[in-house]
Amino acid sequence: MTFFTRRGFLAASTVASATLLLPAHLRAASAARTLSATTRTIEVQGRAARVMGLVNGAGGLGLTLDPGEAFRVDLTNALDVETIIHWHGQIPPNAQDGVPNTNPMLAPGETRAYDFAAHPGTFWMHSHIPAQEVGLLAAPLIVRTQADLTADRQEVVMLLHDFSFMDPEDLLASVTGGAMDHGTGAMSGMSGMEGMEGMTHGAMQGMQGGAMSGMGAMGGMQMDLNDVDFDAYLANDRTLDDPEVVTVERGGRVLLRAINASAMTAYWIDLGSVQGRLVATDGDPCQPCAARRFGFAPGQRLDIEIDLPADGAALPVLALREGARDRTGLILAPKDAAVTRIDALSAADHPAFSADLTQEAALRAFAPLAARTPDRSHQVVLGGSMMPYLWTINGQTYGAHTPLPVRSGERVEITFHNMSMMAHPMHLHGHAFQVVGVGMNRIAGALRDTVQVPPMTMLTIAFDAGEVAPWMLHCHHMGHLQTGMMTELAISV
């Protein structure tokens, strides 16, 4: 069995995949960290809210691993329903990836052991059942390096959620019209995009000459930014009514590890008058990119270095919901700094991050993939509409889909053609990829595992195919995933 790393292809393993999921009692418990998928109570807008979470042995959310530490975790399902947890952005053996249908579900009360090499960076973990992710069954997964330990900076994690007081199943049903299969997340039928997958690559090249600026290329059509208005937007489980205030050193440096764990919302990370440096995307270093505002979509992560004001003033780090006035965030404040209350609504709507590829086109990988001619290319059409609420890949929903064939070891390129009026954060399991094309422009873009594809745009990714297994490729917007916007990368020998 072979599997892919962020820097290449590893040697074959003699361990059969059936041995990769061990009952916890067969492994030394003292060597493993513990996680529990459970329920918990938080306060939102002055009201108690029952949500889910992935709680560690110390009672906190998620895990932070030391440099060189393996991902050795005993996961217990303390819910009264079955679940399955995906280690988003990590590259475990396929048998430990955490995907329904491919991996066995974790029954109530069951404990399962996981053990694989952890990749350093900012990652997260979440249920791969859409309603459970809407219900906040997610947590940070931080894997630190020796350089992190010696760097003269303070690390701050900011986990973002969109939150509803409505039952998650009811919320999804209200979005999708209730016409879904809760077991697979699949719907039958087509989306109004039938036949688009038959278009040739050449026929689609005219849709975008480069990174779009504005909506002019849409012929006056309006994109759909937000299909759900949530009750609140949370940063580390809190709103701006009662934000987390992180004590920092006056004039010091902070590494903000921002994780968009929201089910259906894209944000801007806004630093006000302070300029930050984006130094990693989805856990992989990028060439430093300086700005005061950075956008990211569901499933994505941003590592941003921030030099704090020398005057000792508090610095709000805000997450601005695109196309709306909602915002959340936390406050970085030296001891005794004045902290001013910030309203949860801005004075005006925030711009659309998902409208174009300007930010993505500017990013460059710190250690790009080695130059190599692609062995295989796939054209992937993203389709769908709000009415009926149905989202497809190559005109098909999951269950009726045709997997993308690939051979292990091949350099693969996938070009996404978004023919819908919503952006789609496309996530590939089991691999890190590089953005190598924005429209018709070739770039040595960022390394990622989730990329936002705006409406009526074309974007190309490249990667080296890994372990022989089915690996999920899907939209990380839970409404889109629930209605079938998912397929598989079928890797063969």
- Classify domain 4-145 by CATH architecture: Sandwich (2.60)
Give the neighbor-by-neighbor strand order of the sheet with 245-248: 245-248, 327-334, 315-321, 267-270, 293-296
CA end-to-end span of the chain? 10
Checking DSSP bridges between strand 441-442 and strand 433-438, what pairing results, if any? Answer: antiparallel
pLDDT score, position 28: 46
Helix or strand holding residue 462 (H, E): strand 458-464
Checking DSSP bridges between strand 404-407 and strand 424-428, what pairing results, if any? Answer: unpaired
pLDDT score, position 221: 66
The 3-class secondary structure across 329-364, one letter per residue, is: EEEEEECCCCCCCCCCECCCCECCHHHCCHHHHHCC
Superfamily of domain 184-219+361-492: Cupredoxins -  blue copper proteins (2.60.40.420)
pLDDT score, position 220: 53
232-351 has the same fold as 184-219+361-492: yes
The pTM assigned to this predicted structure is: 0.88
Superfamily of domain 232-351: Cupredoxins -  blue copper proteins (2.60.40.420)
Q: Tokens for 454?
A: 């705006």
pLDDT score, position 80: 97
Q: Is 312 exposed, middle or buried (0-12, 13-18, 19+ CB in 10 A)?
A: middle
Q: Tokens for 201?
A: 């690559």
Contact 409, 11 (CB under 8 A): no
Distance between CA atoms of residues 243 and 44, nearest Å: 11
What are the φ and ψ backbone dihedral angles of 184, each rounded to 5 degrees? -115, -15
For the chain (length 493 residues), average pLDDT per consecutive 10? 29 33 46 94 96 97 96 98 98 97 95 97 98 98 96 97 97 77 34 37 40 40 86 98 97 97 98 97 98 98 97 97 98 95 97 95 97 97 93 93 96 98 97 97 98 97 98 97 95 98
Q: Where are the domains positioned within the chain?
A: 4-145, 184-219+361-492, 232-351
Residue 211's nearest CA partner among 426, 350, 359 is 359
